[in-house]
Amino acid sequence: MTIKQIILNANDYDGQKISISGWIFSLRGNLNIKFLELNDGSTVANLQVVLKKENIDLEIVDKAREGASISITGLLKYTPDAKQSVELHAISFELLKNTDEDFPIQKKEISMEVLREIPHLRHRTRLIKAVMLIRSTLALEIHNFFAKNNFLYVSSPIITSNDGEGAGETFVVDDESKEHFFGKKATLGVTGQLHAEAYAIGMQKVYTFAPTFRAEKSHTKKHAAEFWMVEPEVAFYKLNDIILLADQMLKEVISKTLVVNKLEFDFLEKNYDSNLREKLNLFLNKKLSIIDYKQAIEELKKVKDTFEEKNIEFGLDLATEHEKYLAEKLFNGPVAVINYPKDFKAFYMYQNDDNKTVAAFDLLVPGIGELIGGSQRESRYDKLLNRINELSIPADDLKWYLDLRRFGDSGSAGFGLGFERLIMYVTGVDNIRDVIPFPRTPNNLKM
């Protein structure tokens, strides 16, 4: 039995004798009675334990510090009208392992910067605990969503001789001898998409969910060198189908997580962002809007004076402030911008008949901007090869990928969701370093 179960169903446990192990979150009281907040990791919420002198040796309790692991047996009392609606009245108390005095996690607030120095301990604060519980649920609900919709989970490779986007900084991998373990240059994958495409032809609906890597020396709140990506790919899908899938996946995953992690959202709303659920519900309840890139540019031009970046022309990529305007002001909800100019999109995207744009989409949400990017893929061999040549990408490396188009590939579509960006959106935490257990950024590799 977990503290999460006890708190959510306190009525069922009223009067029962319960044994529970966990860690002390806080301890206060006097010589006759102590109040201990116990956490067992199942939820960010703590169970209040009442320890009285007549039942428990309070001198032993007094030795226990915050963070110590303990085991308690007691009687559960459910008093729905009291300030503490659930309490465990201790019958026995065992101090399993104390913390040394220099245990850095204390009940008082510690700055996120300091916590990033101790990624092996910071999940013992309430904020990181809540975030990691939500992270875990989001991951599971993503798997569940795809399983329910008949998707195959594909392990795209991590070490690759292939460079997904044909651009971007990659990490190089070799063994200690530097003698090319694989007989050729090997890098860490920046995407699983190309490999997922191969599997979509034949398996139809597939997705990857794996770590990906960028060796970019960027120090923003949004970028990390190692992060997890969710990349579905579906044969026979066109642009509209894949946009619909993205919207459906986000809504289902988020709404289920709101239920499973009720106590964590209670905590986040109380302490960090009182509008968190309101923001998420706005997203859940609003039908996805779709706007053509060309039309979006016209709309942005109308209000160009409100932006720092006033250079708004067909052919230019949108800045985050532009994306936010579209989602927050123009549509006040999620919006998919479609049919971007091909010049700033990847080589594999389906070329529209206008010869200028590709069948790509970015899904923008209020508060964060781009959450998902995707496209219908170019399934016409000649058009794909021409684009590869135009961009001077070595076609030899992509021969296998081109060959898919010769072997029954009538088209597919897919998208990429940066998993940590989803967690940031759902929790309201604004730095990627705080939503992944052991963040990796330039000059930062702890443990």
Minimum distance from CB of 2 to its own copies (Å)? 5
Question: Tokens 């899908």 identify what position?
Answer: 237
Minimum gap (Å) between residue 304 Cβ and its own copies: 38
Decide if 159 contacts 186 (C-beta within 8 A): yes
Choose between 181 and 272: whose C-beta lies nearer to its own copies: 181
Least Cα distance to 85 among 45, 124, 55, 39 occurs for 45
Which of these segments, 45-53, 207-215, 332-340, 359-367, binds its own copies (CB under 8 A)? 207-215
Please identify, using beta-carbon distances, which residue of 31 and 447 lies nearer to its own copies.
447
Report residue 34 as tokens: 């102590």
Q: Which residue among 12, 109, 169, 292 contacts its own copies (CB under 8 A)?
A: 169
3-state DSSP call for residue 161? coil
Strand order in the sheet with 152-153: 152-153, 205-213, 226-235, 412-418, 369-376, 357-365, 335-341, 289-292
162 near its own copies (CB under 8 A): yes
Rule CB under 8 A: is residue 440 a binding residue for its own copies? yes
166 binds its own copies (CB under 8 A): no
Question: Is residue 385 at the binding interface for its own copies, with CB under 8 A as the rule?
Answer: no
What H or E segment, with its residue span, contains residue 6? helix 3-8
Question: Residue 325 in contact with residue 333, Cβ under 8 Å?
Answer: no
Q: Does residue 259 bind its own copies (CB under 8 A)?
A: no
Question: Min. distance of Cβ 248 from its own copies in angstroms?
Answer: 18
> Looking at 75-83, 184-192, 272-280, 342-350, which segment touches its own copies (CB under 8 A)?
184-192
CA 88 from chain centre, in angstroms, equals 35
Instruction: Assign 315 to helix, strand or coil.
Output: coil
121 binds its own copies (CB under 8 A): yes
Applying CB under 8 A, does 184 fall inside the site for its own copies? yes
- Using the contact rule CB under 8 A, the part of the chain among 194-202, 282-290, 306-314, 370-378 near its own copies is 194-202
Show contacts with its own copies in window 57-76 (CB under 8 A).
67-69, 71
> Under the criterion CB under 8 A, does residue 377 sit at the interface with its own copies?
no
- Member of 12, 19, 92, 182 binding its own copies (CB under 8 A): 182
CA–CA separation, 221 vs 66, rounded Å? 31
Q: Which residues contact 257 (CB under 8 A, 6 or more apart)?
A: 134, 137, 138, 141, 426
Place of tokens 């795809």: 146
Of 74-82, 145-153, 340-348, 366-374, the window that binds its own copies (rule: CB under 8 A) is 145-153
- Pair of tokens at residue 141: 């609900």
Please say which residue, 9 or 332, places its beta carbon nearer to its own copies. Answer: 9
User: Smallest gap, in angstroms, from Cβ of residue 77 to its own copies?
Assistant: 23
> How far is residue 72's CA from residue 88's CA, in Å, rounded to a whole number?
9
Query: Interaction with its own copies in 403-422: which residues (CB under 8 A)?
Result: 403-404, 406-411
- Amino acid 381 reads Y
d(CA 152, CA 206): 4
Q: Least CB distance from residue 340 to its own copies, whole Å?
A: 25
Check binding of 124 to its own copies (CB under 8 A): yes
